[in-house]
Amino acid sequence: MTISTARILEVYEETRSHTEAAKRLGMGADAVRKRLKRADLTPVVPGKSVCYDKDNNPILTWSTGRGVGGATAEEVAEAVSTALKDYRPSAPLKTAPVVSDKSLATVMPFPDLHFGLLSWRKETGIDWDMKIAQEIYRKVTARLISSSPKSDTCVVLGLGDLLHTDNYDNMTTKGTPQDQDGRYPKMLYEATQFLMYVIDLAAERHKKVIVVVLPGNHDEQSAVAVRLALSLHYYKHKNISICDDAGRFWYWEWGKNLLAATHGDKLKKSDLPLLMASTNPEAWGRTVFRAYFTGHIHHETGLDKGQVRVESFQAPVAKDSWHASRGYGGGQSLQTITYHKDDGEISRQRVNIKTES
């Protein structure tokens, strides 16, 4: 009897081991490995691949060819698959908390993490690499989550540029060279591991966790791969939802609040309120409090226009040589914003990042 790909994927998700899955299924480990690889990325037309969900339904198609120094979809999939396989939470993932406030939702923006950015203290005033970023980001995030209200819902909001580059040639999506720490698969690995750490912590404090991974100008292709990897990893967790919208804009109506986000490299901030109203006319009419979140510029700004608060955030990442040579700088921090269902924003928590120079 032929064993379906969906069944193989289900057993592998339970065991996280090709060998153990093969034993349960009565197959060889190599056969399991090959079937899983075909399930994740199977050519559908020349130059195209399709990713399947746990039920063997196609959920996304993308190019397998290389762009400017680009990685193939197979190479990207291999990197994020390794991150999923190797991930071990600091503690077993608990069930959702018993006590939470159903009238509250907390948004945790992650702007411009730039995993892979390399900075040398003698040139920029600060040392920075993936190991430093992982340690600092985890410490700050743990403090943020523990100090934020026990709201019923938490939105882990990736605002783009999760990765510093989008390919093997140390370049952004459009081909701008960058100072990079390590190889491209390592960046995918570290970024995916960090997001799983954040999601696990959030799920212990909040009954529902919504995860959004938006693309940026540095990682337009890689963001898609990370988002799909998280979808496969968490599909059994009923309280964790990975947003599968492939667009560059995110909208969420929650009570009297209408929240939105985009990386911020495509439109002027002053144009975003009109975009919100025109694309969400019914939600606009039902809501009173409206906010649009962006990243990209690495510092805080605020604009009130058309009953919408548009803001950008400080980036937690250090400056690289390009920014340092032009005198750019500013604080590093992460924060959470908590909303009441009927009363809008009610509190913020901020953790500043202090790095030795």
Q: Would you state the pLDDT for residue 96?
A: 62
pTM check: above 0.75? yes
- What is the fold, at CATH topology level, of the domain defined by 101-352? Purple Acid Phosphatase; chain A, domain 2 (3.60.21)
Q: Would you state the pLDDT for residue 38?
A: 62
How far apart, in whole angstroms, are the C-alpha atoms of residue 68 and residue 76?
15
Please list the ranges in the chain whose pLDDT falls under 70.
1, 4, 6, 10, 13, 16, 37-79, 81, 83-84, 88-96, 98, 356-357
- The two tokens of residue 146 are 């523990």
CB 97 within 8 A of CB 204: yes
Q: Would you state the pLDDT for residue 55?
A: 52
Q: Which residues pair with 163 in a beta bridge?
A: 115
How far apart, in whole angstroms, are the C-alpha atoms of residue 249 and residue 245?
9
Domain map (residue ranges) of the chain = 1-39, 101-352
Chain centroid offset of residue 177 CA: 23
Strands (E), the chain: 42-43, 48-52, 58-63, 101-110, 151-158, 208-213, 240-242, 250-254, 257-261, 289-294, 301-305, 308-312, 333-340, 344-352
Q: Would you state the pLDDT for residue 119?
A: 92
Q: Would you state the pLDDT for residue 12?
A: 72
Which tens digit of pLDDT belongs to each residue from 66-113?
443 456 555 666 667 676 677 766 555 555 676 789 999 999 999 999
